[in-house]
Amino acid sequence: MSHNVYQMVTDRIIEQMQQGIIPWHQPWAGGSAMAISYTTRKAYSVLNQFLLGRPGEWITWNQIQALGGHVRKGAKSRFCVYYKPLEEEVADAEADEAERKFRFILRWYNVFHLDDTEGLESKLEAVSQNPGLKPIEAAENVISSYLSREQTLRFICDRESGSAFYSPSQDMVVVPMLSQYQIPEEYYSTAFHEFTHSTMHEARCNRKTDSHITRFGDKDYSREELVAEIGSAMICNRIGIESEKAFRNSAAYIQSWLKALKNDNRMIVWAAAKAEEAAKFILAER
Ligand SMILES: [Zn+2]
């Protein structure tokens, strides 16, 4: 191989993306990264996600009663909103006829988190899918060595959250458990994605530019996602645990963020350089 592994991975990601749209899929089973309606199984709007403040299944009082369940003592409901179309007749002075105009009024209703109810069963996929999955030693070694060097960083495998994230304020990485994945490579791919985020810390690779005001979908947020996913792909490749499935999924993920960056391919080059720095930091190669 003439050029280095980091460049090789970047080239292959670009190559994958040039082949067209690759759909990203959540590689772990169980949980729900979003707030969804227990009855319709649909995700709430972004505004309602924000109002509810917690992923999982939500249900109204009436629906709970209808299904024979009840609300746990002391449980509090949250409200969410919707716009109700209101048809009204508005007299028009110019034209001599009534004109129909539609307006929307904001309405709200209360919902309870399924955890705050009794007698109803979650319809989310069973959490533990593959309890027999074996950890991969090379990957476990990278994780334990990184954690032993970075004393402030906490690592939690959580079966409840149904999501993977790095919290800069708590310096904490959370990922679903190994048994929630179909193949162990995807578990490590997720973990290395979040560990790459953890290198944004000032004491590590210091990419913490305005991260406190960075919002989902922002340019900075999208760029950081590129760094994390390329970094993860690099680490998996470097320690020899790359799987075709996990790699394709990485390319799909990167592609979706690139779209948010208006397909600016230069961004990949920028992100790849930052990702290489992060991957080397995690692997203690510098
Ligand atoms: Zn991320």
Q: How far is the CA of 114 from the centre of ligand 1 (A)?
A: 27
Amino acid symbol at 51? L
Start-to-end CA distance of the chain, whole Å, equals 21
Domain identity same for 60 and 11? no
Convert the pLDDT of each residue in 23-68 to its tens digit. Answer: 667 777 766 667 889 999 888 876 777 677 777 899 999 999 999 9
pTM value > 0.75: no
Domain identity same for 152 and 253? yes
When divided into structural domains, the chain yields a total of: 2
Residue 89, in any domain of the structure: yes
Convert the pLDDT of each residue in 226-255 to its tens digit. Answer: 899 999 999 998 999 988 878 888 888 888
Domain identity same for 104 and 237? no
Q: What percent of the chain has pLDDT over 90?
A: 38
Convert the pLDDT of each residue in 115-173 to its tens digit. Answer: 999 999 988 766 567 778 899 999 999 999 999 999 999 999 886 667 888 988 899 99
List the Cα angle 198/200/205 in 5-degree steps: 110
Domain membership of residue 65 as a residue range: 35-118
Domain identity same for 93 and 171? no
Q: How far is the CA of 254 from the centre of ligand 1 (A)?
A: 10
Quick check: 98 pLDDT over 60? no
Distance from C-alpha of 265 to C-alpha of 286, rounded to nearest angstrom: 27
Domain final residue, candidates 48, 83, 118: 118
Domain identity same for 240 and 275? yes
**All residues with CB under 5 Å from ion ligand 1:** 225, 228
Q: How far is the CA of 48 from the centre of ligand 1 (A)?
A: 22
Q: How far is the CA of 106 from the centre of ligand 1 (A)?
A: 34
